[in-house]
Chain A
């Protein structure tokens, strides 16, 4: 059955306009459908095509400061009333809880993300042939022994109503083509193509410049396999946005989630070194560092007009000239911290998920005064390492100590790239790292990267999010040799 928003709206209204609502302080209902299609290739063998349709609703009620939540995949007038009763029964009789909500504007609106080609309108056979042709082009090179390819496409519909009168319908599309290359002789070398997950339609994949990138990738994987192993020590690092996005995500994105600051995730995802009182005060990095949260950014994976509490999303400063300005909020945690409004960072990953405070697109702003390009940045660095692409990542429970690898590492001497090195991980502490940021590249080096699968919450949820950055320069960062670590 299709996602019938007119019928669902009527079901929701019959609950929201009923006398049941007198039992509780606030209620919201969210209907959600996610259409997902995954295609996997291993070399030229089509391993799997998986189509998934997930559809249902949830009811969340607030009673005496406690949240009760119930969800079901059966959408009928009766099941909605049942879910409401279950949600109320979860919390009725509990001592007064901590939850209060900020007062927010009421919206009645529809927002449909415009994409050029909806991925679900493109025939599967066409996608298969296209991926196969890319695989063929890759496997022509003798240095590429294996290529694992996947294409993940998501079309998300959400209808949100609450007891204050908001009524919002939204549609979002995202896509992630992914190619991992392997050279296995003399030992395993891996290389990722530069495709990234984006909040766009099928056109992103169709227009991607594979013909330019594939010959370079074949050369790169050969050079990487022959590269010398890095000597551990302290280095200047020039980091490309294709690597820096993940460092921003882990060290700044997560540490500035106010629910983590308030210990909501202490049993699981962890907390943060940041504090509510640190807003306007806590030094996160050098004065070159300006970070914004933005759910309106074009093609951003977290971009949407209204969040999952019906709050209109916005752009806001997270770090300004190196100092913490704002934390990310939803209605509950904004209210607990004495703020007047949420900045629209609520998200639930499916109809059955309890909405959590999740990250907006969190991005490092480019240098406003000089449009420094790669060559300029290499010259400023003089000696050091230039890092491209993401690899492994890990950060501690309070977002201090982190360790990242990458896809490609170049040794740089006197402002010139002299060759590839390998087996490298950089290890630092969030504030030390961002304080060592000595130069930021210009607008022309800015790029938006991201992930489909940021994890948080119990039961755990995943969220898509983008991060933009220019090329940026950090001095004196600890570099490990991962072979010596074993």
Chain B
């Protein structure tokens, strides 16, 4: 199935419906390793088509992984019959007309070569030092996404994504460090660099001290801050805020954060490829009528002022909003021009947190989140990592985190531990000092 053929089948079978359709195909490989052994080698190719039929203001969506012509026709009929039975959607907005976009590429995944190169390297490091155990996950994937609609919209993109993560523990399982990297091109050097860096991190864990829970000055890594920003993006729906169902209620247009806080989304940022148009319902808002909408650089927080929230065209028109955004294709928090190492050198006394984990919303009024620190909590004294510390459970709102940032480094491509697992999301953000971070209780976990 290709998009031209899909268009023809749709035109022949749409009856009196408007439609849009998404054609998605993906190929990927994944290697998992644990305890210095490879535990699974997976290769997979998947595709599906998703058809939305719109009859007057009634909508039906149907998708299938069976791309035979017969099955696609059945899928069109299914979406039509759902629309027929549905009720009018009060948020109906005419579909986006006549827009074209294409940055798709013909790249295919060279999985056999890449996998064997990676596995050779892994076996090399597995056998290097028997006192450490190596864990991790490597994945390479290429996704092609095309969208068409009944009013002459055609958009295509290709999103390649290669991610490398590794965790090193000692054989007694009392020490543990983790790093990860992502890229839009396959690059085994990233994996090699992770291993080298991890061996350095591992040295910091040779001395471990206990620290009581409390409110501390912390340094969050881009991974830790990235997870908090990702979670905060779930609170950014304009309608929820207006309905007083979000911690961002009454904050639009207000200066909430220090003036050096600038948060935005930009699908065309160079560091990693993002999808430049709206495809799925990734944000929790219901964007049915906006699928295919162009995304651009848009501010969420500008000089500390909440500038734009996530919204639909329908809602923006109704409420006369000008600065909202359809989704966050990625999140970028502006940093300073200080390199990471120079930034750390200037810190006198703080707790460094490498990763956060198991993050959940506790209080939707304040945005309070809970979660754990993981794989790297260190004491920084006079600009140096001096020893490692036990893990903690934190209770902390990401809004307060942004309020309490007092300094930061330059921004780096982040690999959030919990929410970094999807090609639909990426974060670029700095290392930052956060005052008064609530480390609520000690976790014995390693």
Segment 438-486 of A: residues with Cβ below 8 Å from B? 458-460, 480, 482-483, 485-486
Q: Are B64 and A53 in contact (CB under 8 A)?
A: yes
Q: Which residue of A lies closest to B397 (CB)?
A: A486
Q: Which residue of A lies closest to B88 (CB)?
A: A46
Q: Are B85 and A392 in contact (CB under 8 A)?
A: no
A90 cross-chain contacts in B, Cβ below 8 A? 29, 41-43, 115
B244 cross-chain contacts in A, Cβ below 8 A? 184-185, 187-188
Complex Cα–Cα for A270 and B365 (A): 30
Counting from the closest, the 9 A-B pairs by CB-CB distance are: A398-B445, A485-B395, A90-B41, A396-B445, A73-B65, A401-B443, A125-B85, A184-B244, A267-B135
B374 cross-chain contacts in A, Cβ below 8 A? 397
Q: Are B82 and A396 in contact (CB under 8 A)?
A: no
Distance of A27 from chain B, by nearest CB (Å): 14
Most buried by B among A50, A66, A267, A405: A267
Distance of B362 from chain A, by nearest CB (Å): 5
Q: Are A188 and B364 in contact (CB under 8 A)?
A: yes
Residue of B63, B66, B245, B441 touching A184 (CB-CB under 8 A): B245
> What 1/0 flags go to B275-319 for Cβ under 8 Å of A?
000000100001010000000000000000000000000000000
Complex Cα–Cα for A271 and B372 (A): 14
Complex Cα–Cα for A316 and B236 (A): 46
Distance of B325 from chain A, by nearest CB (Å): 20
A483 cross-chain contacts in B, Cβ below 8 A? 363, 366
Q: Are A53 and B66 in contact (CB under 8 A)?
A: yes
Q: Are A427 and B441 in contact (CB under 8 A)?
A: yes
Complex Cα–Cα for A86 and B135 (A): 24
B266 cross-chain contacts in A, Cβ below 8 A? none
Complex Cα–Cα for A459 and B44 (A): 11
Q: Which residues of A contact B (CB under 8 A)?
A: 1, 40, 42, 45-56, 58, 66-74, 86-87, 89-91, 93-95, 97-99, 123-125, 128, 132, 145-146, 182, 184-185, 187-188, 190, 262-268, 270-271, 273, 352, 354, 392-401, 403, 405, 423, 425, 427, 429, 458-460, 480, 482-483, 485-486
B34 cross-chain contacts in A, Cβ below 8 A? 262-267
Complex Cα–Cα for A422 and B209 (A): 36
A51-B62, A70-B43 are contacts. A486–B400 as well, Cβ < 8 Å?
yes
Q: Are A458 and B137 in contact (CB under 8 A)?
A: yes
Distance of B277 from chain A, by nearest CB (Å): 19
A1-B70, A403-B370 are contacts. A51–B43 as well, Cβ < 8 Å?
no
Q: Which residue of B lies closest to A72 (CB)?
A: B45
Complex Cα–Cα for A401 and B133 (A): 24
A46-B86, A427-B440 are contacts. A396–B393 as well, Cβ < 8 Å?
yes
Q: Are B444 and A400 in contact (CB under 8 A)?
A: yes
> What 1/0 flags go to B381-405 for Cβ under 8 Å of A?
0000000000101011100100000
16 example contacts (A-B, Cβ-Cβ < 8 A) are as follows A1-B68, A48-B59, A70-B43, A93-B116, A95-B123, A124-B86, A184-B244, A267-B33, A354-B42, A394-B393, A398-B445, A401-B442, A401-B445, A459-B28, A482-B368, A486-B363
A71 cross-chain contacts in B, Cβ below 8 A? 42, 44-46
Q: Which residue of B lies closest to A395 (CB)?
A: B358
Q: Which residue of B lies closest to A36 (CB)?
A: B63
> What 1/0 flags go to B165-187 for Cβ under 8 Å of A?
11101000100001000000000
